[in-house]
Structure 1
Amino acid sequence: MPPRVYREIFKIAWPVVVANLIRVSFFTIDTIMIGHLGAATLAAVGLGGQILDMFSIISSALSVGVLAICARRKGEGRVNEVYKTLVNAFILAILISLPASLAMALFPKEILSIFKVEESVLAEGAVYLSISALTIPLFFIVSTFDSAFRGVGDTLTPMIVSSISGGVKVALNYLLIFGKHGFPALGVAGLAVSSIFASILSLLMYFAIVYSRKFEIKRTALSGILDLALWKKIALIGVPSMVENFFSQFARLLYTYMVAFFGTTVLAANEIGIRIESYSFMPGFAFSVASASLVGQSLGEGNIDKAKKVFKEASIIAGSIMFFAALIFLVFPEYLSRIFISDPEVVEYSALYLRIMAFQQPFLGIYMVCAGGIRGSGDTKTPLYISLISTYSCRIGLGYLLGFILGLNAAGVWLGGLFDFIVRSILIYLAYKKGDWCKIKI
């Protein structure tokens, strides 16, 4: 592999890993601070967070479409079209997010009452959700900027922006949640207010970056800003990805529902295992972003051979890194589990979860890279079909068969999850070899 391509992959991937580590660290600090306000507040924020997370599924339609188009235009050398794509996506983000934001701001209690929670949780959650509603348009817009920069191969800028705004958010949380240094003690409202300020800061930084004309994406003169054909193109690429994320999220709920049948101890072990495993996803996601960006750019350049090399080498690197994660899960599962809890029974089940999921790590790395590359080419339907087939046949179907019918209990359900990504990696590799992705026109 030419050293230049090898360097390009790592240049794009490492800031994504760092950004995710920082994000997880800040989230952990936020959780600790909210935890000091009591169980009801923590539950309210967790519930509100789940509702807000649903909007990330909708925003993925924009994000994936913008990344694929910007990557292709960068490869083609059509710099003006990159900026035009960003501007149109910006307008779309506002139009899509404002109705949802308004509904959440006006009817927070009605939305939360679906979950049948205690009145104290409902009251705190309504406060958090009504204020956090203002962050939804900001989240959509910032995600659009993130995707555009990643599409042109600049992941360092989103890393810096998210790190600065995340640091400011943590500082504001401390001041506004607890009322330190003369600030009012707002409790859960302080968490929401700090999120708004942090999102505004991210947006202002992106505006300054684009208007400075010193970065990959520059403000350029446009003869016509609105381009409905471009809106359609973003939707055609992005909507299948949104549908994939929706059904994947629904499958995760079903999967958790099955695990919950085996009791609180097993459910707690499952959650701990997922939290530990999430750290191993970071390199896979990072190389997935690199693959999406470089495959899109390579196709824009008309260099299919380079695109294939990106697939191959990024898969090898991600698979190798996640193989080492697998070894850690196999050798030290109890030690990792005890970081989160001391209950010996929970630790035992969590260790079993990690040992089972250790075998999926290399396959997961390969799948994430190949799926990212295929999405970067503009083909988002293939990953959708593969995800639907594998998730519902293996994770849900096989998991139910092994866990409930054959009597393997929680281990059987977890084995279904393991085979999900083994099958996905095989199917996505076959899709890559078939080569339809390199014929996509954007």
Structure 2
Amino acid sequence: MHEQTLFNISWPLFIELALHMGMGVIATLMLSHYSDNAASGVGVANQLLGIFILVFNVTSIAAMILIGQRLGANELSQARQFARSAVGLNVWFGVIVAILVLVFGEPLLRLFDIQGEVLNYGLIFIRICGASLFLESLSLALSAILRSHGFTKESMIVSIMMNIISVIGYALSIFGLFGMPITGVIGVSWTIVIARAFAVFVLLYLVYKRIALTFKVQDIIKINKQDIRDMLYIGIPSAGENLSYQFSQLIITAIVASLGDASLAARVYISNISMICYLFTVAIAEGTQLLVARYIGGKQYDRALKRGIKTLRIAMVASLTAAVVMALIGSPILELFTDNYQILAVGVPILWAVVFTEPGRAMNIVLMSSLKSAGDVRFPVIIGIISMWGIAVTLSYTLGITFGLGLLGVWLAQGIDEWFRGIFACKRWLSKPWERVRVKNTAKSHI
């Protein structure tokens, strides 16, 4: 297999991540021109579907790491077997989740305390898009297979094509272009189904073309049990960490909401702005995760260690630079979102708290994902859950409410959480965790 640089792997991932983030904003903006209630209903339904999509990431993240390790060890037939098992497992996950969403969609939506028109729009969206979740599951598995083989550009091209289909479909549904009927949420929902189906067909073709890998019905019916165990061993802790993060953020949002509307709006806007700071970090962290998996598989442990540290330096410098620039030109950036002076008064000082938070977040993202590639899957979860709840949630209340620092206190608490996890991850990485994993696995067949 040809040698790849971090840049070659990461720049398509960066564009793909930017497109994913951007599409949510575009869909919300376009729907808001159709109806505020439609935008709200679809926003809530999408949040719900997002939690289910985390389930599919269980296998796709694990498959990416395990296939990468097998390729690094030159065990090509085992890498192909893992790819088939990942697709088979994700098909079953997708079908089960789609049925659950169709059966329990309405009671789950009602948990968000929405009603009337907002609930009706949410239900339309969840019934149409929920039924097609198995397509999302399948495309995530196929993308993971391509990425693990280093074909990140192909995955990016599929995302670009999906986005083009989506924008055209949204425009036709919402604005009724070329004399087409305005179908609103129904049209938007079917556009997503069409885009997902298109992605699956193109990804199947690319997997066949680039890796010469085809799938049979047998791969879905009879999945290798050891492969399932190995994927769940890596995937379940990662999913648990993600779910814990989502729930801790919900609690923090409730704390911010108690501070008033201006603080809540400022948090939403600054969270969107700070995404720009860590978008680059997430892309190079994913690229590093692929390379580390290969190096560990090939027993190139020193190379893996150096790669993690080198990426860490790049990510911390880049995120600090981006955060400082954002803070220096804070007011004009926030004014793109709002002209409400109360929100601006709360928000502008927070941009300097972002400068404190982002380098810690970069350390956390890069090294925690590298640790998972090295087979050290439990440590990131344990530290993550302790820190999210023991520091981020607890300190958000203490600094924000008890000490009266408001949103600034909440942001500082999140910064302390990121630095705490980042420093622990750094110590763990420098202790060469693969040596522990290697000793532990002499008697086991895991990873």
Tell me if TM exceeds 0.5.
Answer: yes
Shift of 1:220: 8.8
- 2:89 aligned with 1:88, yes or no? no
Cα-to-partner distance string for 1:90-127 (whole Å, 9 max, x where unaligned): 11112122122123224433322222213111111111
- The structural deviation recorded for 1:182 is 4.8
Asked whether 1:430 is paired with 2:427, we answer: yes
Query: Does residue 218 of structure 1 match 2:201?
Result: no
How far the C-alpha of 1:426 sits from its partner, in A, is 0.4
- Structure 1: state its 5+ residue gaps: none
CA change 1:437–1:401 in 2 (3 A) is farther
CA contact (8 A) 1:152 1:297 kept: no
- For the residues of structure 1 that align with 2:360 and 2:29, how far apart are their CA atoms? 34
Distance 1:237 1:350 in 2: 39
How much is the aligned-residue C-alpha RMSD, in angstroms? 2.0
Question: Is 1:120 equivalent to 2:117 in the alignment?
Answer: yes
Residue correspondence of structure 1 range 372-391 to structure 2 within 5 A: 372-391=369-388
Tell me, yes or no, if the aligned pair for 1:14 and 1:286 is still in contact at 8 Å: yes
Deviations 1:303-340 (A, max 9, x none): 10110111011111111111211211321121211111
Does 1:257 find its partner at 2:254?
yes
Q: Which whole-Å CA distance do the structure 2 matches of 1:428 and 1:218 have between them?
A: 36
Structure-2 residue corresponding to 1:334: 331
How far did residue 162 of structure 1 move? 0.9
The answer to whether residue 7 in structure 2 is matched with residue 10 in structure 1 is yes
Alpha-carbon offset, residue 186 of structure 1: 1.6
2:363 and 2:423 in contact (8 A); partners too = no
| Cα distance in 1 for residues equivalent to 2:424 and 2:149 | 28
Matched, 1:59 2:59: no
1:68 pairs, out of 40, 65, 69, with 65
Instruction: Name 1:285's counterpart in structure 2.
Output: 282
1:318 to 301, 308, 315: 315
Structure-2 change in CA distance of 1:81 and 1:219 (3 Å)? farther
**Per-residue CA distance 1:362-409 (angstroms, 9 max, x = gap):** 221122111111111222211101211221122111222212222222
Could you tell me which amino acid in structure 2 is paired with residue 167 of structure 1? I
Whether the 8 Å contact between 2:305 and 2:430 is mirrored in structure 1 is no
Change (3 A) 1:335 1:439: same
CA distance in 2, matches of 1:45, 1:222: 35
> Do the aligned partners of 2:241 and 2:381 also contact (CA within 8 Å) in 1?
yes
Tell me by how many angstroms 1:217 deviates. 6.5
Match 2:401 to one of 392, 400, 404:
404
In 2, Cα distance between equivalents of 1:245 and 1:221: 32
* SS of equivalent to 1:133: helix
> In the superposition, relative to structure 1, how do residues 114 and 332 fare at CA in structure 2: closer, same or farther (>3 Å)?
same
The residue type paired with residue 126 of structure 2 is: L
The 5-angstrom pairing of residues 296-307 of structure 1 reads 296-307=293-304
- Paired AA for residue 133 in structure 2: I
Contact 1:288 1:372 in 2 (8 A): yes
The separation in 2 between residues aligned to 1:217 and 1:292, in whole angstroms, is 24
Task: Please tell me the residue identity of whatever aligns with 1:299.
Answer: I
TM superposition shift of 1:415 = 1.1
Farther off after superposition, 359-368 or 120-129 = 359-368
**Amino acid aligned to 2:279:** M
TM-score by length of 2: 0.93
Matched letter for residue 47 of structure 2: Q
Q: Which residue of 2 aligns with 1:149?
A: 146
Of all paired residues, the percent bearing the same amino acid is 23
* Alpha-carbon contact 2:353-2:411 (below 8 Å) kept: yes
Which has the higher mean CA deviation after the structures are superposed, 281-290 or 402-411?
A: 402-411
The residue number in structure 1 matching 2:444 is none
Matches of 1:355 and 1:430 in 2, distance apart?
Answer: 27
Q: Establish whether residue 356 from structure 1 lines up as the match of residue 356 from structure 2.
A: no
- The reply on whether 1:23 has 2:26 as its aligned counterpart is no
Mapped partners of 1:232, 1:376: distance in 2: 16
Q: 1:41 aligns with which of 38, 41, 51?
A: 38
Residue correspondences, number = 436
| Aligned partner letter, 1:264 | D
Quote the Cα distance in structure 2 between the aligned partners of 1:105 and 1:163.
29
* 3-state secondary structure, aligned to 1:359: helix
> What's the counterpart of residue 74 of structure 2?
77
- Pair 1:246-2:243 in alignment: yes
TM, length-normalised to structure 1? 0.94
* Bigger mean CA offset, 96-105 vs 426-435: 96-105
Gaps in structure 2 of 5+ consecutive residues = 442-446
1:78, distance to aligned residue in structure 2 (A): 2.1
Superposed displacement of residue 266, structure 1: 0.5
